[in-house]
Chains A and B, each alone.
Chain A
Amino acid sequence: DAKTTQPTSMDCAEGRAANLPCNHSTISGNEYVYWYRQIHSQGPQYIIHGLKNNETNEMASLIITEDRKSSTLILPHATLRDTAVYYCIATESGTYKYIFGTGTRLKVLA
């Protein structure tokens, strides 16, 4: 599994877009990028995943660079409820496990 690197913490104003970067420079061609978040001490919650193309769902957008060495999770209109730790994970399709890392602690400010 590719190692991922994320900033330790970020702040974002409520209503603004939150852009969370992730570096995965050693990612291989068949490794997907997944994003999960963990609110307080709850179990992690899936947000989005992608391989090569940009992806969007009702929660967020995922922008993956052409060389696939980095990606950005975008929360288009952050709310206070989006305050959480966000984990970027690279893992092989169909593999049994994720390597979580320490994630980015996002704080949305009123």
Chain B
Amino acid sequence: NAGVTQTPKFRVLKTGQSMTLLCAQDMNHEYMYWYRQDPGMGLRLIHYSVGEGTTAKGEVPDGYNVSRLKKQNFLLGLESAAPSQTSVYFCASRLAGGSYNEQFFGPGTRLTVL
């Protein structure tokens, strides 16, 4: 199993440009998440999904949109990138329900907005 993969690994954007980050998991997990991590900080939840076709806002959703058209994929979009969105973006997934709900994380996407 590849686990959780993220595409691309690195990206540099100019202010105002748009892009989509792709997260894919092959573990048949129902829940998927997008986090951002700024230097010296912990992870903050942007958006999440509890199943195909559903999405919800997390702690810091402004400036981002998401889609979950297929169970295995979770896309994060930046419509008009801003320097404040320079960060490392992590995707995660987990099984639904139960008390044992470990999240599995991808390797991250390092985004710089100039």
Contacts and interface: CB of A to CB of B under 8 A. Distances in A.
Interface in B74-114: 88, 90, 92, 97-108, 110
The A interface, classified by DSSP as helix, strand, loop or mixed, is loop
Nearest to B33: A97
B101 A94 contact: yes
Contacts, number: 56
Contact of B105 (A44, A49, A51): A44
Interface residues of B, number: 31
Nearest to A46: B102
A7 interface: no
A87 B42 CA distance: 8
Q: 9 tightest A-B contacts by CB? A: A43-B105, A100-B42, A46-B102, A100-B43, A93-B99, A101-B42, A102-B42, A44-B105, A97-B45
